[in-house]
Every structure is written in structure tokens, then in C-alpha cells.
Chains A and B, each alone.
Chain A
């Protein structure tokens, strides 16, 4: 069985990078100008090419070939990255390479070699192992549930709120429950078996631990009999839809469950006229595409085969190029809300600039995460929006923190809160 996280499976991808910086620049068709022309947060923050995906691939190759060894700078290069996947969609516009898998696998190698992850990641992993949540909180995970939220004992749909909405951004989980109730959709939770999806562990390169969490969660879901898992968190969405099958070397289609984000549920109902908004919201807002649901939102497609002359793959590989991520659904919802003036930022959809929180950056490099969030908020300001709406609790949190720290007077919302307020 192929190990999708073994860096030796990606030496071709590293060597065949041609340095066009499609990983760094906004798609040239959409290039907005000098300002906001770069979509890679780490290369916008640390300007040396070593902090661009193309540079990381060369550095990783140098490590594999023994030309360099692990150093603190090497670990910074590999971990000072949100794994936001902007590089992946950009590279795959023209080439059949896998830069995001390279970056993920270099972290896995660092862990296997006893050099990674960063200390902050180890602490998060310890919290998850001991308390089932990334914060190490001792409270029950079900604390978000209000008395007026109707949760079935048995349903075909499981709501998986994730750590953030369970402990920090409880309003998102509460809004999700009420929206599903209003839509007349029966849902259940995993109850006292609900736990972290393992996203922080997987992205930090702790593959064995992440696989164990994946197997456990999949078994728990199977035991409920439910076939659909709904999330309100882009990271959880991505973990169940991409990371689990990738770690287990299976097609997502063969996992035996479906994963949907709440915006997919609501947009379908809105477009069918079955879900309407009765209250206006007078606000000018920009929608921020969360990386792991948008350009990384396509289901994992397993491939195993050989590479022959001219680099031809047998059998043919189906590449995830970011084309079919969740882009339009949240926009369809927000455009239906009276008074909400939805505007696009210069970097949008597959070219969106990450909020800064992902890939373990918020844990290990909080200054960088705050810088990236602030940079994104300047983009919100550039289109004269007063608010930014996302579909991931981590985006909301880091945006609000950055806005407050910089007196930017921009309010960040999760889309579930907007839907709830207007229904």
C-alpha cells in the first residue's frame, strides 16, 4: 500500500519544480497589481525564496541528498507555513506536480527523524491525547448545546463541531444546530465520544498519532449508523474528506461516509427556495474563502502506479487542482440576504490569502499568524468592507484578534452566525 506521506514518493515533484512561482503569485489572469499580488503568506512574510514553496522543495531535496542537515532554520522553513494550499492550486494550473504533498511529507519526515514537530505542536498533540481537544480543556465537549437545540438520538446526519466551536467559538456550533433545526434536518452528535478530528496532529507531521485518531473517529461514526457528517469548521471538513483517506490510502468515495459543510446544506436549500431569510443585515462585507474547504476542499482521490518515460503516470492520475472546492455556495447564501452588500477582495477563491491560523502556525508562530491576518484585513479595508465573513472558526478568531490588536475596526463573523441572524 502506498504511503501518501512518504517524501520519497515526491522526489520527482521536487526535482521538476521549474521555479515559475505559480506557487507564490496570484493567478496572473486575476493578478490585481503589485499590492496583493502574492498569495503565499510565508513568502509574503519572510521574503527569501527559501520561504516560498519552490524554495522549500529545493531545500527538502538538499536534505534528502545530504547536502544540508536539520537546523533550527530548516525547521522554521518547514513549519512557518500554513499549508494553505495556495501553492498547490497555483502550481497545478500549469503542471502536474504535488507541492502541498511535498510540504506535508517533509514535516512527516522531520517527525520520523526526531526533529519535528515544533514544541508548541507537541503540546497541542498532548492536549488532544489527554483531553480530546487541542486546548487541553477539561470541560465537557457538549457545553455548546443549548436547551432549545433539538438533537436527535438517532439520525443519518452527524454534526461534528470540532474543538474551536465546542470550546471557544461556541456561537458557531449553536448557530449550526439552530439552522439545521430550522431547515428541518434531523441530526445527532457523537455525544460523549465526540473528540478532536486530529487536524493539528496531522498537519504537524505526527502521522502515527493522526492515523490512530482517524481510525478511532471513523469507527465511532460507523457505530452511529449515520452516513453523513456535517461540519461548521473548514479544518474538520478537510480532515474527514481529505486527510483521513489520504492517510489510510483510500479513495474518499470508499470511506463509507459523506462530508458536507453547513454552507453546502444551506445553499442547496436556498437555491431550491426551501430556506429563506426574513431579516435583513445592513452591512458591507467580504467573504474570505477558508483554505481547507475552498481550494483544498476536493475529496481525496487515491492513486497508486508507476512513472515511466516522459514522466507519464500509469494509470492516469486524477489531480486535485482546487477547481471544485466550496467557493460558490457561501456566496449564494450571502447574496440572498437583504441589505448585505457582498464584495470580493482582490485575492479570492483559489487565490485567497490564508487567514494565517492554519498548519500549526497559530501555535508555533503566533506573530506570523497575526501578521497574516492583519495583511488579509488590509485587503478587507481595500474594498471598503466593514466586516469579513468566513466559514471556519479559526479564521474568525484570528481575524477578530488582529482587528482588535491593530484598531482596524473590522468585525469578523462566521457565516453560520450571519445565517442565524437573518433567518
Chain B
């Protein structure tokens, strides 16, 4: 056993013997290799099996476990749906808190919010919300991710076009601090009702979530109220057999997709601004070309038959798809009005309306992020630019020019500048730069995918003045912290030291990336990590 017997026994007394194990067979199931970051350097080389896995049911149980961890100085890592490699233990003799049993879900229809335990996932919440004429924004991370974890970790969704990022929709809740003390935030600081985000005194939600969350470095959120948003009241009917399952739109004109072929990439960007200015639409995105080929493919081989063609190669610069969703939240007339406005805007750009199915299988309730791994077996997004959309697209085009030097091992996507969309009715642009590679360790120069992920992209971002949200957890802070300044690594450490001086909870992210980059020999540390960014 990797932890003291009495610590194990104390935790067993809290949760019951059925919900704790130190069996090293079971521990293998918790050795990373999951979700975003899978097959990157930190995932392949830094994960270790936990000493103990414990499944608490209540906030009180979480408090008890964290207090024991502190008493015996045992590191712990909390995780809900384990969909990010940073949530896997990287220090020996760790406790994993698997939070799947904490799946209480209560819908407060009057106050339009959902009170969730960390074990509740998005498709479960969406089902309950839509039944009541409301909705949440299922994130790009997938329907299978935890509502709580994703909300405090930013949680961007294609549906954020209208309502902003979910991190701003966090209300009251319970937060067990790293040492086991319970902090109730928002209206829960004065009552048991978490319907409101603000409370007396400083608003601690900012400390909890920051820009991109703490990945368990600041304890465990055990209950959180999140806003729900008004939806149409016609429902969405699931139809089909796997893998062809989809939500059928109602016959009444309350929700519709529109696919437009735009004449140029510039017009695609400009129309996004115009649609936002008109304050219409429910979602608005550019469709990357490889996703179109995935959608048509019945299997990986089908994809490559389509992708390995001149038609696909040419499509990157010749076909620009703008996908728009309209929702008649209040009435059919609302949708009809928005449709007329949309058509006027698109006509002004010479856009052509293409055919599309009037159903949804990837945005509203099911977000099948797993499909990203279908093409090559490995995927990650290295760039999430949050800026104006035209600025983001220029960054994506810049990265596309640099990427051939790392292709292979990266998959050739013919200069695709990324997936982009707007949020907050055009105020915020968002671009995600996607990479796929063959993770077979026999591939030549496979380390270059990590060089691209961890060093090249953040360096280009810093040089170009782009803000990359993923830098906050997927790039070495020794590089980005200095580049962006003020030294946010030091700020991280100060906060962490205040709440968790013994560093018992998970390390702040991306400390694992820093550790990994520091130990590998392929990084030119003088040029990148040790560079004096104040000199430009």
C-alpha cells in the first residue's frame, strides 16, 4: 500500500468499504490516457497509477477525505468525468477522488437554474432542461463531461453565440477548499438556496474559476448552480439507431439549420459580424473541411478515401461553409423574422444556401467530441484564440503556414486554418486550431508533435500578441507566463500557497507541462523557455 494504513482505514470509515480501493488492478484504470491531451508527452510519460481510489457521495464525505489527506500529507486529484489528461495522477501515492457518485441534479424552474453535483454530465442536464422548455450549452468537450467541472473550466460551446461562456453562468454552490474546509459561495453563503451567484463580500467565483479553472488544485466543488436558458417548448425527438442517432426538429418552425457556401473566407468572417449586429441566430460557426469529410464517412477508411483527393486539398481555400442555427425561442414568427434577416445578410455577400438535414446530432444534446479521434487515432487542439474573430482567423492562417514544418508527424490538413465561430453575438471570436497525428510510437519524429503543441504554438502566439486560452493549461508557464506577464506563474503560486501551503491537492495546471518540458531534451530552452520576453 502506498499510503498509511490508518489513513486508508479512516477514509474507508467515511465512504464505506464498497467505495474505496487500493487494488493495483483497479488503479490501472485511472492511469491517464484519456480525453483531451491523450498521447501528448505529459500523458505518455508522466502519469502514474494512484495508490487509492475513493468514491465519495456527499460534500461531507469529500471534506472528510480532504482532511485525512492533509493530516497524512497525501496528494489527491479530484475528477468527475476524467476527460482531460491533466486530471490523472502524476505524483506517486496519490488519492484519486472519483466523483461519479455525486450525481444529484435539481432543476429550479422558477429561477431557471440547475443545481448539480460534479457527477452530472451535460446530456443528462440537457434532457431535463429541454423537458422544461430550457437548455444548457453542451460544450465542445462533449456531452459526456461534467457540468460542474466544465463550467468552472470555461466550458466553451458552439451554442455560446447568444449567451456567452458558461464560466460566467456559475451561480451559488459548495466548494471544499484544499484543506477540507467548506466554503459556500453566492447565495449559499447566507442560505441553502444556490440560485444567485453573488453573495456578501468579495465574489469568490473569480478565484475559483479564473480564466480556465484549477483542475483540482483548489479543492473540490461539490455542488454548483448553473444558469439555464430559455428554449422553445416543442421538444426534440430522438430518432435512429446507432451510429445514426439524431434529434429530430419539430414540425413547427421553431428550430432550423442553414448551411451557406460563402464566396471567400473574408466574407465568412464579415457575415458573422453582421449576423451578430442584427442580433439574430442561436449559433453560428465555420465548418472545417475535415469535419465535412468525417460527416460523410462511414469509417476511417471512407474518410481517407475522401481526404486523399485533390478535391479535398482544393476545398480548404475554395469552400467556406457558414453554418447557422435559428431558434424561434418565443414563436414560429420569431424564426421567420430571423430567417428573413439572415437571408438578406447572406444575399448581400453572394452566399449560396446549401442543403442540410433538419436534425441535430452534434451540438444540442450530443456533442460527439470522440469523433475527433476517428481520423488518425490522436487529436488535440493546440490553439484556442479568444479575440475578435478576424484577428483569430489571421492567427489560424499564420499557424497553418507554420504547421507544414511539423507535418508529419501531424496529419496534413492542407492549410486548414481551424474551426472558428463567434460568441456573445459577435463580441468574442473563437478559433480552435486542430491537429491530428498517428500516435503509433514507431512513427518518425513523433516528438515533433509535442514541440509544436508545447513550444512552437505558444511562442508564435506570444510573438504575434495572440491570446490562446489553451496556453493557460497546455503550454509551459515558464514560457507563457513570462511572455504575457505579469508573471502569472508567481500569482498562481501565491494563491495556491495561501489555500494549500503543503501542496496536497493537485498541482496547478500546467505545472505538469512545465515539468515535462523541463526534462525532455528536444526543447531549445534558451530560445524559448529562458527567452527574455520583455525585449520582444
Contacts and interface: CB of A to CB of B under 8 A. Distances in A.
A292 to B, nearest CB: 16
B357 interface: no
A2 B434 CA distance: 36
Interface of A: 12, 15-22, 25, 27-34, 37, 47-50, 52, 54-56, 58-59, 62, 67-68, 71, 73-74, 77, 89-90, 92-96, 309-313, 316-317, 319, 321-323, 325, 327, 349-351
B190 to A, nearest CB: 28
Contacts of A16: 373, 377, 439
Given A47-B101, A48-B98, A90-B242, A28 B123 contact: yes
Contact of A32 (B122, B127, B369, B438): B127
A317 B301 contact: yes
A97 to B, nearest CB: 9
Interface stretch (B22-30, B203-211, B257-265, B467-475): B22-30
A96 B374 contact: yes
A33 B242 contact: no
B247 interface: yes
B228 interface: no
A30 B245 contact: yes
Interface of B is mostly: loop
Interface stretch (B58-66, B360-368, B447-455): B360-368
Contacts of A317: 299, 301
Contacts, number: 185
B25 A74 contact: yes
Nearest to A57: B29
A212 to B, nearest CB: 32
B98 A19 contact: no
A89 B98 contact: no
Interface in B119-133: 120-124, 126-128
Nearest to A49: B29
18 contacts: A28-B144, A29-B240, A29-B245, A29-B361, A33-B127, A34-B104, A34-B105, A47-B100, A49-B53, A49-B98, A68-B24, A71-B25, A73-B26, A77-B25, A92-B243, A313-B301, A319-B299, A323-B244
Given A16-B373, A93-B242, A31 B55 contact: no
Given A33-B124, A48-B29, 16 more contacts: A12-B377, A15-B439, A19-B82, A21-B81, A22-B370, A28-B368, A30-B245, A47-B55, A50-B26, A54-B34, A55-B30, A73-B26, A74-B25, A92-B243, A310-B411, A311-B440
Contact of B300 (A21, A33, A313, A350): A313
Interface string B436-450: 001110010000000
A29 B246 contact: yes
B38 interface: yes
Contacts of B366: 27-29
A323 B35 contact: no
B142 interface: yes
A323 B374 contact: no
B371 interface: yes
Interface string B80-121: 011100000000000000101101110000000000000011
Interface of A is mostly: loop
B144 A25 contact: yes
Contacts of B369: 20
B299 A96 contact: yes
B28 A322 contact: no
A31 B124 contact: yes
Contacts of B35: 18-20
Given A19-B82, A311-B376, A48 B53 contact: yes
A321 B301 contact: no
Nearest to A89: B242
Top 5 nearest A-B pairs (CB, nearest first) are A19-B34, A55-B29, A28-B123, A31-B123, A50-B26
B238 A58 contact: no
Interface string B370-386: 11011111000000000
